[in-house]
């Protein structure tokens, strides 16, 4: 009892402060075995692409950039010449001719190809029976158009005794040797590129299938005819697809080589009328063994393609509508 009386009374006030509790420390992240396996699997699938990029693509690109500043004949050692190869381009008349031929080919054949592809896509979008068959048949030219066999066949069709002249002769018309005439040889290659409309047509068809039908129904109720619906609904909603096909086909057209090489026999004739830029690059690099100059031409082509692609992207702000 005395012990209880001797205990000190509890005074009012704040209780004695306890030691502050330490906040919980975040646990270190650990890769789950499953996530690690998925990451390694993804990099495993990407490994062939990385090998191809660094060993097959990036290496030759950097090598050609170095060779473009050298005098290199593929046989001896390259010698540094600085910007001489690029200065030579200013006085190279055949280079200027090849650029003119290539520009005509690109700016004539690409719009015609896209127009034909869009027209056929509109026809197939109406619900034709056996659509998959027609789509496969129309896509075949895109798979075969760049091949050597088709280029040889094209040369035979447009030759002096070819199929085109035989058809014209049936109507009493005397045909020309189309591939051997300087005024018509380039036109035959333009027709060949237009004929390979399958790839853009399939892309156009996929874009048309994504346009909601309610827009057409509302426009029809308002009295809009087919032509008005095409220009006010189809074209604006299809501009992203048109832009994609335009950029892709323009890049491909600038790099055209096989058709001109086979049809002209590798000369670019007649009278350099089919001397594409890539064909002249091949002649300088592997015909004249002037690989330094050819490398400079390759980088000029890269800058031309990059420039036109950049212009397309800048101009797309004014005519491409994404609907967002």
**CATH, residue 208:** 1.10.3720.10
Note whether residue 125 is domain-resident. yes
Q: Which pLDDT band, with edges at 50, 70 and 90, does 27 fall under?
A: low
pLDDT digits 0-9 by tens, 234-253: 999 999 999 999 999 999 99
Note whether residue 16 is domain-resident. no
**pLDDT over 50 at 3, yes or no:** no
- Tally the domains of the chain: 1
Note whether residue 275 is domain-resident. yes
Note whether residue 3 is domain-resident. no
Q: Which pLDDT band, with edges at 50, 70 and 90, does 5 fall under?
A: very low
Note whether residue 220 is domain-resident. yes
What is residue 324's predicted lDDT score, i.e. its pLDDT? 57
Question: How far apart are alpha carbons 180 and 188 in whole angstroms?
Answer: 10
**pLDDT over 60 at 12, yes or no:** no
Domain of 194 in residue numbering reads as 84-319
Note whether residue 67 is domain-resident. no
pTM for the structure as a whole:
0.83
Note whether residue 171 is domain-resident. yes
Note whether residue 286 is domain-resident. yes
Mean predicted confidence (pLDDT) in 6-33: 54
What is residue 10's predicted lDDT score, i.e. its pLDDT? 47
Mean predicted confidence (pLDDT) in 95-108: 96
pLDDT digits 0-9 by tens, 286-305: 999 999 999 999 999 999 99
């Amino acid at each position: 009892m005395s012990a209880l009386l001797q205990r000190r009374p509890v005074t009012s006030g704040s209780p004695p402060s306890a030691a502050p509790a330490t906040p919980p420390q975040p646990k270190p992240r650990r890769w789950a075995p499953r996530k690690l396996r998925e990451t390694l699997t993804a990099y495993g699938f990407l490994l062939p692409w990385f090998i191809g990029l660094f060993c097959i693509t990036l290496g030759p690109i950097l090598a050609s950039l170095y060779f473009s500043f050298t005098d290199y004949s593929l046989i001896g050692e390259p010698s540094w010449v600085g910007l001489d190869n690029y200065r030579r381009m200013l006085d190279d008349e055949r280079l200027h001719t090849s650029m003119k031929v290539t520009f005509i080919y690109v700016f004539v054949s690409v719009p015609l190809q896209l127009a034909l592809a869009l027209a056929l896509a509109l026809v197939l979008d109406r619900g034709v029976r056996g659509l998959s068959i027609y789509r496969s048949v129309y896509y075949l030219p895109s798979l075969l158009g760049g091949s050597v066999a088709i280029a040889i066949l094209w040369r035979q069709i447009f030759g002096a005794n070819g199929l085109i002249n035989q058809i014209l002769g049936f109507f009493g018309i005397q045909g020309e040797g189309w591939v051997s005439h300087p005024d018509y040889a380039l036109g035959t290659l333009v027709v060949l590129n237009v004929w390979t409309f399958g790839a853009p047509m399939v892309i156009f068809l996929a874009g048309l299938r994504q346009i909601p039908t309610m827009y057409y129904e509302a426009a029809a109720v308002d009295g809009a005819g087919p032509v008005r619906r095409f220009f006010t609904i189809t074209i604006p909603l299809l501009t992203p697809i048109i832009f994609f096909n335009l950029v892709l086909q323009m890049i491909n057209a600038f790099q055209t080589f096989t058709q001109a090489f086979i049809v002209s026999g590798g000369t670019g004739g007649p009278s350099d009328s089919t001397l594409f830029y890539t064909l002249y690059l091949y002649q300088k690099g592997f015909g004249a063994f002037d690989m330094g100059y050819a490398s400079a031409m390759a980088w000029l082509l890269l800058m031309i393609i990059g420039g036109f692609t950049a212009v397309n992207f800048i101009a797309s702000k004014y005519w491409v509508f994404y609907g967002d």
